[in-house]
Chains A and B, each alone.
Chain A
């Protein structure tokens, strides 16, 4: 099966500019996650979707970050305006939705964002 696809692979922008990242999950995976991984740290969940509804966005800086998952498939994460501290790798992951036991997360290769 095809894995989680993300683009772009790298992005360099100046502070106060806008940027968008795209994620295509594994076919049939109802749950989609966006994680932020700052250099030297573990990934931190920004937002979790179940189909096209938001399940958890408690750690998403909503004044500048937004995300959507139209039609419950692809997702876009946007930052506007970007700050220097947004420099990080943005990882997308997806999983099946199963009753009871948890299903594993499958990760994409991430987008490395540099804000100058």
Chain B
């Protein structure tokens, strides 16, 4: 079974600075998806960015980018120019591509990000 580990329960950063959230995962599969989700106090999980394992190029979405190291099974999220609205819980998630309907998301424990004004 796949597992996802986020070793930083909490992180804080000054507004406008850059912060990196860490994530490692364990799998025996060669093709899969990785995601970062943001969960504000409203509780809704919001997709921030996703990476397909077969793509070598790191995904980027505006101020959000990832560092995907497939051999090391590492998937970190970098937030540039941090804004107050970025404060939330961030979850790393793994998704298998098995065709037997097992395309569930497996989440890490989360990292609480605080933005200091």
Binding site for B on A (CB under 8 A): 31, 33, 40-45, 48, 50, 55-56, 89, 91, 93, 101-102, 104-105, 107-110, 112
Bound form: Cα–Cα A22–B103 in Å: 22
**B 14-59 contacts with A by CB, 8 A:** 33, 42-47, 50, 52
- Could you say which residues of chain B place their CB within 8 Å of the CB of A41? 109-110
- Could you say which residues of chain A place their CB within 8 Å of the CB of B47? 104-105
Tell me whether A50 and B107 are in contact (CB under 8 A): no
Bound form: Cα–Cα A94–B109 in Å: 21
Q: Mark B88-117, 1 if CB is under 8 A from A, else 0.
A: 000101010100011111111110000000
Q: How far is the CB of B31 from chain A (nearest CB, A)?
A: 10
Tell me whether A45 and B105 are in contact (CB under 8 A): yes
| A/B pair count, beta carbons within 8 Å | 56
Q: Which of A44, A55, A102, A109 contacts B43 (CB 8 A)?
A: A109
Q: A50-B101, A102-B103 are in contact. Are A42 and B44 (CB under 8 A)?
A: no
- Could you say which residues of chain A place their CB within 8 Å of the CB of B110? 40-42
Tell me whether A42 and B95 are in contact (CB under 8 A): no
Q: Which of B50, B97, B104 contacts A33 (CB 8 A)?
A: B104
Bound form: Cα–Cα A110–B106 in Å: 18
Give the size of the chain B interface in residues (CB under 8 angstroms).
Answer: 24
Tell me whether A101 and B97 are in contact (CB under 8 A): yes
Tell me whether B43 and A91 are in contact (CB under 8 A): yes
Q: How far is the CB of B11 from chain A (nearest CB, A)?
A: 15
23 examples of A-B residue contacts, CB within 8 angstroms = A31-B103, A33-B104, A40-B109, A40-B110, A41-B110, A42-B4, A42-B91, A42-B108, A43-B105, A45-B105, A48-B101, A50-B101, A56-B104, A91-B45, A101-B52, A101-B97, A102-B97, A105-B45, A105-B47, A107-B44, A108-B44, A109-B43, A110-B44
Bound form: Cα–Cα A50–B93 in Å: 21
- Could you say which residues of chain A place their CB within 8 Å of the CB of B104? 33, 45, 48, 56
- Could you say which residues of chain A place their CB within 8 Å of the CB of B42? 109
- Could you say which residues of chain A place their CB within 8 Å of the CB of B107? 42-44
